Amino acid sequence: MNNDIISIISVSELKALYKAADLLILDVSNGKEAQSNYNQKHVDGAIFVDLNSQLADIKEDVSIGGRHPLPSIENFSKLLSSIGITAEKHIVLYDDKYGSNAAARMWWMLKSIGHEKVQVLNGGLQEAEKHNFLINSKIVSPIPATEYEIEKWKLPLATIDEVENASINQDGLIIDVREAQRFNGEVEPIDLIAGHIPNAINIPFASNLDENGLFLSSEKLKEKYKSIFENKKSSEIIVHCGSGVTACHTLLAMAYAGFEIPKLYVGSWSEWSRNDKPLAVGKSLFNKSPQ
């Protein structure tokens, strides 16, 4: 994959460019207290973006698109314009989780509309605090920009029908990035049914991180996923999670390692498990997920 800009940025690298005129920092923290937490403290100059209301089009019927369907192109364009994002802006995203799952979701969305300069802060807010980045509670009022013209989502997406075909076709590969206990069907804390999509393998997103909660080096991630990309084209690989958010963490890791970005199944387990589709339980046969 030929990236003009590395997908992940360290705190020290952000410090070096943080006063640049074209830089825009976004806090994409998620959860019931995300807005109030942002109001109390955030990276200096960061603008808050809400996963549920701005980066998803949540519907009452979760069986249609899952728990976090993508917003329409039109609404995403309006969001970007409202917070001052133009095609020339250098966007750095973070959230308050070391895994940076919500930040990774917006990274995927920006990459998918063709935005070139977008990175995720490695370690998020905690890592910024740890390394004495300026943190405060000053609320930033975004300066709206002209309309961000978007044609379509350009990165590959998988529909539930494509996933069903892959679940019975050995030529396809479905990667489930949820925790092993959820994949195995031992527990299900969020969705209605435990288990996984038949023919899927389990590579938990947490295995992209080291013991400190930071992304593994690009070299280690390349070694981790090398066997997958040697045996499959990116177009044959579908990545999913519970609701299409955490899967973007693994897509980010793959891009950081230099691989082409596979298909994202946004509906994920939250959609699949509500549509009377076949279910499986038990451990993945995949045994090459390294640490």
Catalytic residue (choose from 158, 166, 241, 255): 241
248 is a catalytic site residue: no
- Which neighbouring-strand residues pair with 119? 92
Active site residues per annotation? 241
